[in-house]
Amino acid sequence: MINLETPRKFRGFIDQANKVADNFLRANSRKYDLAEHTYPKELDMLASLVDGMSDSGQGQGAGATGVRRDDADSSEREGKVKNGTNMSSLLSIIEMCWGDVGLLLTMPRQGLGNSAIASVATEDQLARYKGTWAAMAITESSTGSDSGAITTTATKDGEYYVLNGEKIFVTSGDRADSVVVWATLDKKLGRAAIKSFLVTKNTPGIRVERLEHKLGIRASDTAVIVLDNCRVHESNLLGNPDVDPKEGFAGAMATFDNTRPLVAGMAVGCARASLELIRELLEGAGTEIDYDKPIQAQSYAAATFIAMEADWEAALLLTMEAAWLADNRKPNSMQASMAKAKAGRVGNDITLRCVELAGTLGYSEMSLLEKWSRDSKILDIFEGTQQIQQLIVARRLLNLSSSELR
């Protein structure tokens, strides 16, 4: 049976992550928000620390590489409840994004592409790509959230695939040393022909076209990447190279079942930072927040805070449920989308409302509230927009295919 309290074995690890977030990330939050496209050198030391924790086993699956589902011990774990790498990765990300979302997104070797590798790579590929920092290139100017409409092509030529296309909004696209590129093997075969390829940045034919200037997460670089007759060896196709129309998009989409709870966790962490600060400000101004009083008997500010806190708790529990299901090898596609939809919307609502409640202080750079409101917006957009998540949940609930419910 699922228990959504924080697992005891992770509590010391979470405390460590909180201290790191406070001393490394939040301490440099404003600095790199104002210095967009400047690489945060402080993260090199932090990344080395995370690598050391993971290698020693003390990290409990810290970071984006900790989301692979391992079936090796399935017979031993039959009927047992497991809190594993999905849950620990989620809990660490919540703490890190309590510190700073943009800096977490630009952590070396913790890119979303690393989660893609962990989700679908073969054992040989996992060994070969260990230590790489992988960005993930999905979105195109003509596709938006419809990943199934990808137009970037991968044409077989002997032992190589030739990749052609343009990808936009690639997080860490400039700083990462490799990119997981989603491309179609045959446009006529639709979603079933979409595969992901690991392309190292020194491969001829791949280039960063430009960096975007953004509303939020300015510490993280966001790139446009062009693939121009980029030749990638067939061994760099992640997972199964076969095109199975019966499988459809399932192989590629398995990546999202792991990454969407992590993005939901980012929103949960950022919203918690806003809630903690606004509570401090409200109580400092004399506002009483009393959980024993009915809402209508409290001030507008107190009633608003309690409602936001309830929404935040719901987002947290949905997110933890999605991670728990993944750790216990249970289908979590619907729950991952539910968590992403709820946390993305709630996170944005909470951070904006906190700016409102703080008045002039909330809108100025004297506090981080305005920054958190800007950072939170992307968390309702990337890895599938709010509308896409609701569509996926509706399909699962109604048992309809993508062609039946569009």
Q: Cα separation of 270 and 379, whole Å?
A: 10
Task: Yes or no: say if 382 and 144 are a contact pair by the CB < 8 Å rule.
Answer: no
Angle at the Cα of 25 from the Cα atoms of 19 and 27, rounded to 5 degrees: 90
Alpha carbon separation from 159 to 110, 156, 199, 233, 284 (Å, rounded) = 30, 7, 15, 6, 66
C-alpha of 6 from chain center: 20
Give 284's contacts (C-beta < 8 A, 6+ positions apart): none
Q: At what angle do helices 11-20 and 85-99 cross, to 10 degrees?
A: 30
Q: Cα separation of 82 and 405, whole Å?
A: 35
Token look-up 């959504």 returns 4
From the candidates 95, 140, 321, 383, give the one annotated as an active-site residue: 383
Q: Which helix (H) or strand (E) holds 157?
A: strand 153-157
Residue 123 appears among annotated catalytic residues: no
For residue 268, the tally of other CB atoms under 10 A from its CB is 32
Task: Yes or no: say if 338 and 318 are a contact pair by the CB < 8 Å rule.
Answer: yes
Task: Yes or no: say if 152 and 198 are a contact pair by the CB < 8 Å rule.
Answer: no
Q: What is the dihedral of CA 149, 222, 228, 130, to 10 degrees?
A: -90
Most distant pair of Cα atoms in the chain: their distance: 74
Q: Which helix (H) or strand (E) holds 170?
A: strand 160-171
Angle at the Cα of 148 from the Cα atoms of 328 and 235, rounded to 5 degrees: 70
Supply the residues annotated as catalytic: 383
